[in-house]
Amino acid sequence: MSKVFVNIGLSLDGYMAPEGMTMGRPEYKNWGAKWGAMMAWILNQRYFREKLLKLDGGETGPVNDLVRHTAERSGANIMGKRMFDQGESAWPEEAPFHTPVYVLTHQKREPWVRPGGTTFHFVNDGPERALELARESAGSRDIRISGGADVIQQYLNLGVVDELEIALAPVLFGSGRRLFENLHEPGPAFRIDRVLDDPAATHLRYVRQ
């Protein structure tokens, strides 16, 4: 059976996104610089540069292999409306998912097909229904809960997240959207499966006990 996993960047003080993050205003509360510092680790990885930025060169090695594995294992993505709204104005025409993407929203909208295999489906019936649809389309591949923080929290509270992969960057935000808020008691239990460190981030992998 396919697994449900989270793969995200995180600031050292526990934020997924800095305060004021709104596409089109990267200068607002300096969020653009903060976000760039948190995600700097991925920008030099060869797989990311070739597949998403359409650029040559880049680093190879364990971190690059991790980035490739995340993309290749993903058969479907789930995200919230806020994340979709931010990305709709910023992603290239060939959106960077190359899978079906299920967007949790109250807005009714027809599927949005993009070049390269990405189709956004807008789900009005809650996170359980989005996961059901994602499982159907992913087949034997896995389902990535892409974000934002509130959507990840919903799936943690449902107890369906099998793996957490966190790239912990040595960057302090001070405020923003925390990953681990609004969790029900008792919280989900995980064990450490892998730690991969490099100067730009520590890559932590937890699996459900």
Distances (CA, A) of 180 to 136, 167, 189: 28, 15, 13
d(CA 73, CA 75): 6
Tell me the average pLDDT across 197-207. Answer: 96
Q: What is the CATH number of the domain that holds 80?
A: 3.40.430.10
Would you say residue 85 has pLDDT above 80? yes
State in Å, rounded, how far the first CA of the chain is from the last one.
17
Please say if the pLDDT value at position 158 is more than 80. yes
Instruction: Give the residue from 199, 176, 190, 155 showing the smallest Cα distance to 4.
Output: 155
Average pLDDT over residues 172-182: 94
Look up the domain containing 12 and give its range. Answer: 4-208
Confidence of residue 194 (pLDDT cuts 50, 70, 90): very high
Structural domains of the chain, count: 1
Residue 121 pLDDT class (50, 70, 90 cuts): very high
**Residue found by looking up tokens 């992998």 in the block:** 205
Euclidean distance between CA atoms 112 and 120, whole angstroms: 5
pLDDT in the model for residue 122: 98
What confidence score (pLDDT) does residue 51 get?
A: 84
The string of pLDDT tens digits covering residues 3-33 is 999 999 999 999 999 998 887 776 778 888 9
* Separation of alpha carbons 46 and 61, rounded Å: 9
Give 193's contacts (C-beta < 8 A, 6+ positions apart). Answer: 163, 205, 206, 207
Q: What is the mean pLDDT of the chain?
A: 94
Is pLDDT larger for residue 87 or for residue 192?
192
Q: What is the pLDDT at residue 127?
A: 98
Averaged over 81-105, what is the pLDDT? 92
Please, what is the Cα angle at 91 between 133 and 162, to 5 degrees? 40
